[in-house]
Every structure is written in C-alpha cells, then in structure tokens.
Amino acid sequence: MNEPARKLKYTFAEYVAYDEASEIKHEYVDGEIYAMSGSTARHSLLTTGMSSALSQALGARGCRVFSPDMRIRVQETGLATYPDVSVVCGKLEFDPENSNTLTNPILIVEVLSPSTEKYDRQQKFDHYRLIPTLREYLLISQDERRITHYTRNEDDSWTLRDVRLSQPLKLPSVDVTLSLDDIYRGVFDP
C-alpha cells in the first residue's frame, strides 16, 4: 500500500498554527517548517549576556531588546525565525498575517552553533539583509571571544568587522558600545 503524499509547501498561517501549538520553536522558509535545535549552556549564557548588555546600555532610549522567543519575519522572502536576540527601535511593526511576529528589527544577533554556523553566516544572512530596517547583524562565537559584526552602509552594501578579545563592540545603529567582558562573562569558566 502506498503512503499518502507529504504536503510539500505550507502557508505562513499553517506554519504559525503549527508553531504556536508546539512546545518547541520552528523556522519557516520556502514553505517548509523546520524544528529549531535546543541550546547549550554556553549558547544560553551568550544570549543572556548580550541581551543584558544591550538592555543596560540602551536604557530608556525607545529601543526594545527581544529574547529568542520573539519571532521575526522577512517580508520579502517569507522567512520566519527566532533570532537569539533582536532589537527594535521606535514603533513595533508586526506581520500583517500574525500580530506576534515582528518585521522591523534594527539589530539581530545569532549565537553560532556547529550545526547552524554555515546557515547563519550565509543563507540566513541573505534573508536578513533584505529587512529594510536592519542595520547590524552580529554572529557570536561560542568557542572563542569573537563577534562577527556586519554593518549596513548607506549604499546598501555591508561591512564586516571581527571583534576579538578585549576590543569594544561599537553598534552605531543603536549608538552604544559594549564590552566583550560583559557579553562573555562566565562563558569560559570551568
């Protein structure tokens, strides 16, 4: 007996219903739904460190720092995902199809994992840079004190800068400078 054909493409509404009914988070890309992997202790510490450093530095500037529970959607490509940290300044803009999905981050942070590093550096960044409001994209290493920092230029090109060891992390989109000591606090402790 033949098995029923697997549905090849899902609508965004079907994805949202599936994702919101699940205990784990899922990513939606090209009509497909993918389970997102869990995190390690280092991954969690780095996400918390970055969120805390950003929240403290931004204070009451009208910017909001979001945890990995906030879904972001790239309107142009349809990608829906949960960045490790995202920042929105000013008015929050939500997807017209789902009021729990933001569309206007100014800054996105991903903590790199062995299973997702290539995707985060390439395909995911290809999607993210099509967000008109996005000005900066950060990739945080779990293996060493290193942050890959992409900044959007006026001509829509991107500049790459590696921030290492004790260099300051300057974020012009939100006009703050962060310390890698704060972001990496406790990450490499025995």
Q: 7-63, pLDDT tens digit by residue?
A: 679 999 999 999 999 999 999 999 999 999 888 999 999 999 999 999 999 998 899
d(CA 109, CA 52): 13
Tokens of 23: 């205990």
CATH number of the 39-183 domain: 3.90.1570.10
How much is the pLDDT for 90?
96
- Reported pTM: 0.94
In this structure, the strands spanning 80-81 and 146-152 are unpaired
Round the CA-based radius of gyration of the chain to a whole number and report it. 17
Q: Output the average pLDDT for the chain.
A: 94
